[in-house]
Amino acid sequence: MTLRPTVAIHTLGCKLNQAESEKLARELSLAGYGFAQGNAADIHILNTCSVTHIADRKSRHMVRILRSKNPQAFIIVTGCYAESAGQDLVDCGADWVVDNRYKMSLPDEITSKIKGLLNYKHKGDALSSTERVRSFIKIQDGCQNFCSYCIVPYVRPNVFSLDANEVIMEIREKVAAGYAEVVLTGTEIGAYIDKGLKLSGLVQRILEETDIKRLHLSSLQPQSVSPQLLGLWNDNRLSRHFHLALQSGSDSVLKRMRRKYNTAQYKKTVDRILDIMPDASITTDIIVGFPGESDAEFLESYNFCENTGFAAMHVFVYSARPGTLAAQMPGKVGEKLKKERSLQMLELAAHIADNFAGRFIGQTRDVLWENETGRGSGICTGLTDNYIRTYAKSGVNIIGKIMKARLIDWAEDVKGLPLRASTRGNHGELWGEVLR
């Protein structure tokens, strides 16, 4: 019997990339490909990101590493960086660069293109059931908003939404396969529309027509949080976490960024959510050092973040994306100043995360347990319904289950436990006790 080659998929960037990689893995698995860990695969697929110059660098670095560790392997690179800098990736060692729009045809293309190119040495494993905790489902793709700093409209220009019936079917399959949580992803999921059905209608149908235990919406634009959408949160299967990318808390910077809201409108959305769900976590993205950002504008942004009631902030240092409007703007902020502002924002982010999580010490919340922090450690980690990272010791297997936990202390204050894998520090993370 001829064995199919084994595949390893590596994903950089956003939840949309994760959703697409997950779908690719499923289709390759159905087509008979096995999966190999680490460097043992015959084919490596790298799904790249190009949101910042650091993402570009990571994408190139990853191709070089894959090539040096796998001289015989067939390396396929796709994703946003592949769309904008294909030749760079070939120079780094990629065998084949595939544009975003052909990404999802890869399973068919691989079968016809690489037949005979490889000696199929390995027999891989089917997808492991331990991965079946959270699944990312793509419901929408593309963006035409042209925020002035963003490369996405150039690399994902085709805007479309997936058929609602197909989304429901995919979620039912995930439920049948044992997944506890589904995350709806897209470039701009608030723009979802299928034959007149908007995002709120889709979410309502998913809640009514599937048995998914936890449903999570990825990043939303503040203007997409309609009263109809919020009205659905009386179903406690919807995760009480909203990621609303702010980007700047200064109105003049928002205007130069060409965002479609100002700080007053943004704050109104946050207040509307917190009025209904005071325990909801609202997280955001912030860019520091956007062209022309003055000291006063940075301070406005900082103060807005401090006073808006966030649960967590992801801080990004502005980097020019060639071809975008912002890359041509005057008033570049120097690297030293960008670094100082980033450190100040990061300090605020740590403080904000601790403030939010600290409110819940002593409470009992539902936690979806994801994995063990280290093999045999018996320490499991998961996220509460309002997305607080939680750790607990468990003598029995709780992975993939939603179980109540009493949140008893800061994760960092518990002595004698192995450190977690997280590289972003442990602010806002708690230690809990699983209740049975």
Residues near ligand SF4 (CB under 6 A): 143, 145-147, 150, 152-153, 187-188
Q: How far is the CB of 104 from ligand SF4 (least distance, A)?
A: 19
Q: Are 52 and 149 in contact (CB under 8 A)?
A: no
What's the closest the beta carbon of residue 321 comes to ligand SF4, in angstroms? 10
- C-beta of 153: minimal distance to ligand SF4 in Å? 5
Is 80 or 180 the residue whose CB approaches ligand SF4 more closely? 80
Nearest residue (CB) to ligand SF4, 43 versus 80: 80
- Closest by alpha carbon to 397, among 429, 358, 371? 371
Largest CA-CA distance found in the chain, in angstroms, rounded:
69
What is the sign of the dihedral through the CA atoms of 24, 8, 128 and 405? negative
CB 191 within 8 A of CB 229: no
Q: Distance between CA atoms of 202 and 170, rounded to whole angstroms?
A: 13
Calpha distance 32→143 (Å, rounded)? 34
Taking residue 101's Cβ as centre, other Cβ atoms within 10 Å add up to: 15
Q: Are strands 402-410 and 43-48 parallel, antiparallel or unpaired?
A: unpaired
CB of 62 to ligand SF4, least distance (A): 22
Element of type H or E holding 259: none
Of 84 and 426, which has the nearer Cβ to ligand SF4? 84
Nearer CB in complex with ligand SF4: 143/317 = 143
Q: Rank residues 20 and 188 by Cβ distance to ligand SF4 and give the closer one.
A: 188
Residue 128 has which token pair?
A: 């492991």
Minimum CB–partner distance for residue 144 and ligand SF4 (Å): 8
Select 13 or 382, whichever has its Cβ closest to ligand SF4: 13
State the nearest-atom distance from the C-beta of 145 to ligand SF4, in Å. Answer: 4
The least distance separating ligand SF4 from the CB of residue 133, rounded to whole angstroms, comes to: 27
Q: Which is nearer to ligand SF4, 86 or 153 (CB)?
A: 153
Strands 43-48 and 214-217: unpaired
DSSP per-residue string spanning 279-305: T-EEEEEEEES-TT--HHHHHHHHHHH
- 124 backbone φψ class: left, alpha, beta (φ>0; ψ -120 to 50): beta
